[in-house]
Amino acid sequence: MNSRTLLRKEIRQRRNALSTSEQTNAAQALTAKLSKHSKVQQAKRIAIYLSNDGELSTTNVIEWCWQQQKEVYLPVIHPFSPGNLLFLQYNENTKLVQNNYGILEPKLDVTTVCPLEQLDVIFTPLVAFDRTGARLGMGGGFYDRSLVNWQLSKLYPIGLAHNCQRVDKVPVQHWDIPLPEIITPSKNYHFT
């Protein structure tokens, strides 16, 4: 196994080892932080993901967004463009289906798609990150492809992670897109 695969395995085990109370406390702390974040407060359209595999829970953040009358969008694997994502509006009545990875996503409905450049904030999942903003995802490259030109639009990406997902160094590849900011329950990391 290569170093990226080993790191993914180690950090996924680390976050899956968190207790229910640790997960709950982390989710509450994250929501408190994000509700005070200026870019999140100003955003009208926010893309986020449904937590999976020990990821920091986004349920409270989604509910807070709805309370603030923000439009929430979830990633959907593009049916005709392999390796790419679409972002579909999500509300309490959205029908969810499992994708090929066993992750829940909105049932495809082209009338609820929001073009990437019309989103204000996109919260990205990650497996590990380091002090430079390098992000290691699950290995599919979906978010790297989505964020390749994020600086050319109003879109602002923010990675979400447990504290235990920070590592000394992420082994990067040329296609990896670093993030300008990663937020954990205890700290905001800003990268230039």
Question: Residue 1 annotated as binding?
Answer: no
Q: Where are the domains of the chain?
A: 3-190
Calculate the alpha carbon distances from 37 to 31, 45, 112, 134 in Å.
10, 15, 26, 21
Residue 85: what pLDDT? 94
d(CA 36, CA 131): 23
Tokens of 186: 């205890």
What's this model's pTM, rounded to 2 decimal places? 0.94
Question: Residue 55 annotated as binding?
Answer: yes
Question: Residue 142 annotated as binding?
Answer: yes
pLDDT at 172 over 90: no
Question: Residue 50 annotated as binding?
Answer: yes
Q: Span 37-42, mean pLDDT? A: 97
User: Which of the four CATH numbers 3.30.1300.10, 3.20.20.10, 3.40.50.10420, 3.30.460.80 does domain 3-190 have?
Assistant: 3.40.50.10420
pLDDT at 192 over 80: no
Question: Residue 63 annotated as binding?
Answer: no
Residue 92: what pLDDT? 93
Question: Residue 141 annotated as binding?
Answer: yes
Tokens of 84: 């790419």
45-57 pLDDT tens trace:
999 999 999 999 9
Question: Residue 136 annotated as binding?
Answer: yes
Spatial CB neighbours of 105, under 8 Å, sequence gap ≥ 6: 50, 74, 75, 76, 77, 88, 96, 97, 98, 99
pLDDT at 43 over 80: yes
pLDDT at 1 over 60: no
